[in-house]
Structure 1
Amino acid sequence: MSDILLIEDEPIIARNISILLGRAGHTVTHAPSASAARLALGSGMQPDLVIADISLGDGDGLEVLTAHIDRLRDCPVIVMSGQDTTANRLRAEEIAVAAFLSKPFAMARLSELVAALLAQNLPQGQRRPGPSVMMYSHDTIGLGHMRRNSAIAEELVARVPGLSVLMLVGCPAGMIFAPKPGIDYIKLPSLAKLGRDRWQSGSLRIDAETASAMRAGILQQVADTFKPDIFLVDHEPTGVWNELMTPLRRLREMHGTQTILGLRDILDEPERTRSRWCETGTDKVIAGLYDDVLIYGNADFYPSSRAYGLDALRPGHVQYCGAVTTVQARRMQRREKGPRRVLVSGGGGRDAFLLLATALEAQALLPRRYRPELTLIAGPLMDNELRERLHIRAAELDVTFLDQVNDMPARIAASDLFVTMGGYNSVTEALAIGVPALVVPRVGPSSEQRIRAERLRSLGLAQVIERPDLTPKALSLHLSGTSASPSIRPAQLSLAFDGATRAAVHIAALLKQRAPKETEQSLQVSHG
């Protein structure tokens, strides 16, 4: 694709960079010294890009570049050095280098930078945008929708070279997960869910009509500008307040965007969901504006396609992917025996106060010799006033209390019991890791968590305490391990937890079908 001159005297670094860029289709000429670099540039070589170290065994990389500045006038230069000083930066600015990388740096960062500089250097008529995916998650109560999209996005950028994934998120906390190359997000004005199909502005002190207009305007502008190849919508087929209707139609009609609806395994009571879809016309939207439906679950756990009538709406285009969990959860191993540890979490934390407060009072009821090592996680969406009350009580009981964590799978794996609400992500990650779970399902606004809890209990996958039965005394028996409840029996099921991978494979295949012929080979290499 492009000719790159690499000036680097450290063999291992030079080899790694050469392999990285070679896999991307570039031709790399390696100059292992200042004299070799002078020879290459003096022989008439006209590279498309130069990557140069400053400290070379027999000279200075910046001096070499300065001596050949006329030849490199239109060539982007990346300077890298373990001596990131003001003096070196100023010297680099004098020859207008495109970027200065301080060693050590991530190879992924270098790869992204090289691709961007080479694309920028192409004539306007030869520039081709890479493949693109846009994802939507409205997120009003928890983090589940955004977590699923985030897990799929990470799998996608690892598989598809040059892919850009733009996530549209409504979570009040914004995009709380660590950024990855190729993935960015746009924050929509937050919403608060008042009840089934009822929302209001979350943080801004504006009326619902203004919030709706703002969100719809942002969505339309982004869709028209980004022009994604694939649009993946999580959970809400028409969006909140039908805000996706115009973008869905325009993307299909004007840009040929392929649209995918991603649904968790349990939505609400099946009859209620089908009736609501029929009354609002959502069933016609699914049938007419979506190419595929991906179910993030297992048919053996819950027959989502049949329960919600999806097979009839998109016959032949409904696919079970398995549960969407993080790679970390799928790879996590249970800890070895030790003092009893119990982890209590309410997911995003918006309505987790009662569960966490009850856990603290349950701990207080236990004699000290029966108390487990108890850890509570509030979640990023819990109100500060309630969070502070829990902090104070936890300190009185010598209980570990954390606002939020970025290593949840590891903490679940290190526990003997995981106490959680019935949210999709918390439950599936516990099942994937194999940690005993006690589920306390949310009461409303939908029946999702109650249905999931019933399935878990009937299949012998978890113990359940219904919200009316949640008392410190009842919970204390579980914390101490003396509960009279029957032990969990292994269910005769084969549940898949690689839903993010399967969804990414499906989307990558669609991108390959849309790819210009000159990029098909790179996509094929990545898939292999």
Structure 2
Amino acid sequence: MTQVLIVEDEEILARNIATALRRAGVEVAVAGSCSAARSEIASSPPDLVIADVNLGDGDGIDLLADWRQDHPDVPVVVMTGQDSLSNRLRAERLDATAFLSKPFAMRRLRELILILLAEGNPGLGPGIRGPSVMMYSHDTIGLGHMRRNASIASALIERFPNASVLMMVGCPAGMVFELKPGIDFVKLPSLTKLGRNQWRPSSLRVSPDTTRSIRMGILERAAEAFRPDILLVDHEPAGVWEELVPTLKAIRLRGGASVILGLRDILDDPKRTRALWDKQGTAQVVRDLYDGVFVYGDQRVFPSSDHYGLEMLQPDNVTYCGYVTTAHRGSNRDRKNAIPRRILVSGGGGRDAYPVLSASLEALACIHPERRPEMTLIAGPLMDEELRAPLSARAKQLDAEFLDSTSDMPALLDAADLLVTMGGYNSVTEAIAACCPTIVIPRIGPSSEQRLRAECLERFGLVETVSQEALDPEVLAKRFRRYDGSRTPMIEVPLNGAVMAANLIAERLATIRPDTPKDARSAHG
């Protein structure tokens, strides 16, 4: 049975609409004229009709009006390239479900049609409803966990256009990345990390117990209502304060879903992490309540499974996905110039980036004005205003460009001869992807993560490092003047982690959801 009929005499537009809907698993028929539409309707009555106003042999609104006399409950969507009050009034009298003025975003049309089909035909709901994936990222000091999940969510939507991804985020700024249709988020009360495994509410003036209760309640209720096919948890297996454990147990009891732990390459000092996991029962949670582990890294750079004992907790269920990054792999740029003329300084999320940006500005001041390189600094969306303001003023004094944030980091990296950044996961992987020579200044603490990552990557010639303890403007200025960016990295690391993770999730969905479209079930298609 035809579900959607497209009545459009512009062949290319009709084909594009049909392709978008078919990719979402919707059966489609196309008619290029009123007469062809009447024949199609007579032979196979549709569940929804999308019709242009101006057709070669008639008027689309008149066509819909005649047909709806006998089918008043079927949704109809009117579209036109000649938006006018007259056409809108005619569509209202027709009681059209929606009126679209060309041009319109194809993905928005697809979302509208899927919703109308599910609402107008309850029996179609299970067939139209695509896979549901819930993601958890506790983000406190930075954006890394949320960015990884957002990248994987985008890759999933590319693969399953009718999927729904619900992200549970703790970032103080909420969701700072643009989301595709099919992806949404729920904001958990924000936390501040005071030390290893020490959190406090960052905004609410309530006790940690109250904050934990609120966050736990949101997680449980969201999982109960959303009923995810897949739950992907980033970094904290039990959640902050073990807030995820009740949700994990409920999903396990209900059955029919897969729970995956996603870990960046380096968590913290391995010995300390394993001891803490054993002491707090986290290792038992991974063993009993998870179905697999994704490691977002390269085993050659850092064998995470060995260091953290993951293979013992999830035998044969640990997979290295490669690095998850939104940056594209850069071309073979000319690295022969040892005197960078364009320096980019990135603070990542920005919450603790003041020392790096301040030292970079003072290093710039140490260089004679006639020999100073161009410098662009990105504070990051989480930097406090009382720290951002003096940095911005100092940058202005030195004729440096100062940005609060950027929506196009890859373009800035492509234009830079040298990147100065902290050792956060996303910052360094974006630099590696762009083949941009990089000085990493890792965070001092409370975790050893950034220092370990910088040391591992430096061993393979992928970055150079400067410790914050040795962060002297004169020393940094010498690096700026004589940086040797011509060295060739010893290895090429995989940067397709988001796609690889989406492929692995697709394999699990094919087992959980027999109705998964075959073209989406291919693990590498």
Task: Give the structure-1-normalised TM-score.
Answer: 0.93
Structure 1 pair 294–29 and aligned structure 2 pair: CA distance change class (3 A): closer
With 330-339 and 285-294 compared, the bigger mean Cα shift is at: 330-339
Kindly state the Cα deviation for residue 457 of structure 1 after the two structures are TM-superposed: 2.4
> Do structure 1's residue 515 and structure 2's residue 516 form an aligned pair?
no
| Partner residue, 1:476 | 477
Kindly state the Cα deviation for residue 302 of structure 1 after the two structures are TM-superposed: 0.5
Structure 2, unaligned runs of 5 or more? none
Contact 2:260 2:291 in 1 (8 A): yes
| Partner residue, 1:392 | 393
> Do structure 1's residue 324 and structure 2's residue 328 form an aligned pair?
no
Q: How does 1:362-441 map to 2 (within 5 A)?
A: 362-441=363-442
Q: How does 1:69-218 map to 2 (within 5 A)?
A: 69-124=68-123, 127-128=126-127, 129-218=129-218
Kindly state the Cα deviation for residue 30 of structure 1 after the two structures are TM-superposed: 3.0
Contact 1:82 1:104 in 2 (8 A): yes
SS in 1 for 2:259: strand
Residue type of the partner of 2:390?
A: R
Q: How does 1:421-500 map to 2 (within 5 A)?
A: 421-479=422-480, 481-483=481-483, 489-500=487-498
Number of residue pairs aligned between Structure 1 and Structure 2: 521
Kindly state the Cα deviation for residue 426 of structure 1 after the two structures are TM-superposed: 0.5
CA distance in 2, matches of 1:140, 1:263: 16
Identity of aligned residues (%): 54
Q: How does 1:262-341 map to 2 (within 5 A)?
A: 262-326=262-326, 329-333=327-331, 340-341=341-342
Structure 1 pair 60–280 and aligned structure 2 pair: CA distance change class (3 A): same
CA distance in 2, matches of 1:334, 1:360: 29
Kindly state the Cα deviation for residue 232 of structure 1 after the two structures are TM-superposed: 0.4
With 340-349 and 90-99 compared, the bigger mean Cα shift is at: 90-99
Contact 1:160 1:523 in 2 (8 A): yes
SS in 2 for 1:445: coil
Kindly state the Cα deviation for residue 61 of structure 1 after the two structures are TM-superposed: 1.9
Structure 1 pair 393–283 and aligned structure 2 pair: CA distance change class (3 A): same
Contact 1:249 1:289 in 2 (8 A): yes
SS in 2 for 1:298: coil
Residue type of the partner of 2:216?
A: A
Kindly state the Cα deviation for residue 205 of structure 1 after the two structures are TM-superposed: 2.2
Structure 1 pair 116–334 and aligned structure 2 pair: CA distance change class (3 A): farther
Kindly state the Cα deviation for residue 85 of structure 1 after the two structures are TM-superposed: 3.7
CA distance in 1, matches of 2:267, 2:466: 21
Contact 1:232 1:261 in 2 (8 A): yes
Kindly state the Cα deviation for residue 180 of structure 1 after the two structures are TM-superposed: 0.2
Residue type of the partner of 2:501?
A: A
Residue type of the partner of 1:272?
A: R
CA distance in 2, matches of 1:21, 1:126: 15
CA distance in 2, matches of 1:521, 1:98: 32
Contact 2:298 2:320 in 1 (8 A): yes
Structure 1 pair 383–85 and aligned structure 2 pair: CA distance change class (3 A): farther
CA distance in 2, matches of 1:159, 1:359: 42
Corresponding residue to 1:502 among 475, 500, 503 = 500
With 120-129 and 419-428 compared, the bigger mean Cα shift is at: 120-129
Q: CA RMSD in A?
A: 2.2
Kindly state the Cα deviation for residue 59 of structure 1 after the two structures are TM-superposed: 3.7
Kindly state the Cα deviation for residue 301 of structure 1 after the two structures are TM-superposed: 0.2
CA distance in 1, matches of 2:429, 2:369: 32
Kindly state the Cα deviation for residue 506 of structure 1 after the two structures are TM-superposed: 0.5
Q: Once the two structures are superposed, what CA deviation does each residue of 1:358-417 show, in whole Å capped at 9, x if it has no partner?
A: 111111121122211100000000001111111111111111100001111221121100
| Partner residue, 1:4 | 4
Contact 2:329 2:435 in 1 (8 A): no
Structure 1 pair 525–101 and aligned structure 2 pair: CA distance change class (3 A): farther
With 145-154 and 254-263 compared, the bigger mean Cα shift is at: 254-263
SS in 2 for 1:176: coil
Q: Once the two structures are superposed, what CA deviation does each residue of 1:257-283 show, in whole Å capped at 9, x if it has no partner?
A: 211001111111111001000110111
Structure 1 pair 75–248 and aligned structure 2 pair: CA distance change class (3 A): same
Structure 1 pair 263–228 and aligned structure 2 pair: CA distance change class (3 A): same
CA distance in 2, matches of 1:172, 1:228: 25
SS in 2 for 1:68: helix
Q: Once the two structures are superposed, what CA deviation does each residue of 1:30-49 show, in whole Å capped at 9, x if it has no partner?
A: 332345445655x5752211
Structure 1 pair 55–416 and aligned structure 2 pair: CA distance change class (3 A): same
| Partner residue, 1:257 | 257
Residue type of the partner of 1:391?
A: S
Contact 2:439 2:463 in 1 (8 A): yes
SS in 2 for 1:286: helix
Structure 1, unaligned runs of 5 or more? none
> Do structure 1's residue 225 and structure 2's residue 225 form an aligned pair?
yes
Contact 2:361 2:394 in 1 (8 A): yes
Structure 1 pair 519–290 and aligned structure 2 pair: CA distance change class (3 A): closer
Q: Once the two structures are superposed, what CA deviation does each residue of 1:170-204 show, in whole Å capped at 9, x if it has no partner?
A: 00111111110211111111111111101111122
Kindly state the Cα deviation for residue 87 of structure 1 after the two structures are TM-superposed: 3.9
Structure 1 pair 488–253 and aligned structure 2 pair: CA distance change class (3 A): farther
Kindly state the Cα deviation for residue 335 of structure 1 after the two structures are TM-superposed: 5.9
Contact 2:137 2:145 in 1 (8 A): yes
Kindly state the Cα deviation for residue 86 of structure 1 after the two structures are TM-superposed: 4.1
Structure 1 pair 453–105 and aligned structure 2 pair: CA distance change class (3 A): same
Kindly state the Cα deviation for residue 331 of structure 1 after the two structures are TM-superposed: 4.0
With 64-73 and 257-266 compared, the bigger mean Cα shift is at: 64-73
Structure 1 pair 462–408 and aligned structure 2 pair: CA distance change class (3 A): same
